[in-house]
């Protein structure tokens, strides 16, 4: 296990179950976002996201769920994800341990693999839970979205006396539409299940305040810690894979170099093409006067 820390942001490279058991204080965390392996066979840099049996996956999950509940402050909130097929088990397991306030559907407009003979999966479920339903943070005013009835249709509510225009903003319901992170998006990192910044922004703005501590035990590309930093929260991120941890160290500006290697974002194929196109070719006469200058785009013509 390795620990890195800078300006209130801690990054652990190691097994979340061990680190949660030995390194994180009980009742110390304001908000937990947990996006574990889903047991659906993704490839996490060579680590297979598939347990021998479903029971083994669930037993493993229940072990860290128990730990996470212990780590949460009495006023804390927990957002928990998994695949559609395992969420019912998580839901039932959590029901007598914590208060589930919302069952959220994160919906997106395209599925990775297009199903041909069944209905392809276009959403991922998220449970929003709090320890104490009478005392928890929920900054509704910071996550308001457009209320179309009021803002577009400009309808008047005649049930009110005197009649009033409908509100133009509202608290989001439990179906959230955010695009998945695509290869060409600026936020893209090399990871098969990176979560969008926009999704984490809504969660962190709603369920924490500046200075609060946010924990993500399966950090991947460290989206949670990255957003926590931009919103002036503190963060603890845990990730077992060294390459993914390096993404976190870079995204959070914790280190510039790792074991002598400069931490840089990998150049994507379309960016390489752009760089080549931008490279200039300059021809000089033997006496040094410039004869010709062009870029690759013109050479290719």
Q: What does the radius of gyration of the chain's CA atoms come to, in whole angstroms?
A: 24
Q: What length is written for the chain?
A: 301
Q: Which is nearer to ligand SAM, 9 or 191 (CB)?
A: 191
Using the minimum distance from each CB to ligand SAM, give the nearer residue, 189 or 212. 189
Question: Which residue from 73, 241, 258, 296 is in contact with ligand SAM, where contact means CB under 6 A?
Answer: 241
Phi-psi region of 7 (alpha: psi -120 to 50; beta: other; left: phi over 0): left
Among residues 127, 131, 48, 45, the alpha carbon closest in space to that of 86 is found at 127
Binding mask 176-215 for ligand SAM (x = CB under 6 A): ---------------x-xxx--------------------
Closest contact distance (angstroms) between CB of 204 and ligand SAM is 13
Helix axis angle for 223-230 and 197-207, nearest 10°, is 60
Q: Of 82, 126, 244, 254, which one interacts with ligand SAM (CB under 6 A)?
A: 244
- Please tell me whether the peptide bond between 148 and the residue prior to it is cis, using omega within 30 degrees of 0: no
Minimal CB distance to ligand SAM: which residue? Answer: 220
Considering only residues 210 to 239 of the shown chain, the ones binding ligand SAM according to CB under 6 A are: 218, 220-221, 223, 238-239
Shortest Cβ 52–ligand SAM spacing (Å): 15
CA atoms within 13 A of residue 108's CA, in its CB half-sphere: 17
Question: If residue 148 lies in a helix (H) or strand (E), which one and from where to where?
Answer: helix 148-151
* C-beta of 45 vs 74, nearer to ligand SAM: 45
Smallest gap from residue 245 Cβ to ligand SAM (A): 9
The contact mask relative to ligand SAM for 11-30 (x = CB under 6 A, - = no) is ----xxx-------------
Angle at which helix 54-71 crosses helix 87-95, to 10 degrees, equals 40
35 interacts with ligand SAM by CB under 6 A: yes
- Of 175, 193, 182, 173, the C-alpha closest to 107 is 175
Q: List residues near ligand SAM by CB under 6 A.
A: 15-17, 35-37, 44, 47, 191, 193-195, 218, 220-221, 223, 238-241, 244
């Amino acid at each position: 296990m390795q620990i890195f820390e800078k300006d209130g942001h801690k990054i652990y490279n190691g097994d979340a179950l061990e680190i949660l058991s030995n390194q994180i204080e009980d009742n110390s965390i304001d908000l937990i976002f947990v996006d574990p392996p889903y047991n659906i066979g993704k490839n996490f840099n060579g680590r297979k996201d598939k347990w021998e049996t479903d029971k083994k996956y669930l037993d493993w999950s229940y072990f860290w769920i128990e730990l996470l509940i212990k780590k949460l402050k009495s006023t804390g909130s927990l957002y928990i994800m998994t695949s559609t097929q395992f969420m019912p088990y998580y839901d039932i397991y959590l029901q007598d341990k914590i208060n589930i306030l919302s069952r959220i559907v994160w919906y997106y407009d395209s599925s990775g693999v297009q199903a041909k003979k069944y209905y392809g999966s276009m959403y991922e479920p998220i449970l929003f839970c709090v320890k104490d339903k009478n005392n928890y943070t929920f900054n509704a005013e910071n996550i308001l979205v457009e209320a179309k009835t009021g803002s577009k249709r400009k309808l008047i509510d005649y049930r009110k006396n005197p009649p009033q225009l409908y509100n133009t903003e509202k608290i989001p319901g439990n179906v959230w539409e955010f695009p998945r992170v695509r290869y060409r998006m600026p936020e893209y990192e090399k990871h098969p299940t990176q979560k969008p910044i926009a999704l984490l922004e809504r969660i962190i703005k709603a369920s924490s305040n500046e200075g609060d501590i946010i924990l993500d035990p399966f950090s991947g590309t460290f989206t949670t810690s990255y957003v926590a930093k931009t919103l002036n929260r503190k963060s603890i991120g845990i990730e077992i894979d060294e390459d993914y941890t390096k993404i976190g160290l870079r995204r959070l500006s914790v280190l510039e170099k790792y074991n002598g290697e400069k931490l840089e974002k990998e150049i994507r194929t379309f960016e390489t093409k752009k760089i080549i196109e931008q490279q200039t070719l300059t021809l000089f006469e033997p006496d040094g006067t410039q004869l010709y200058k062009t870029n690759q785009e013109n050479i290719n013509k």
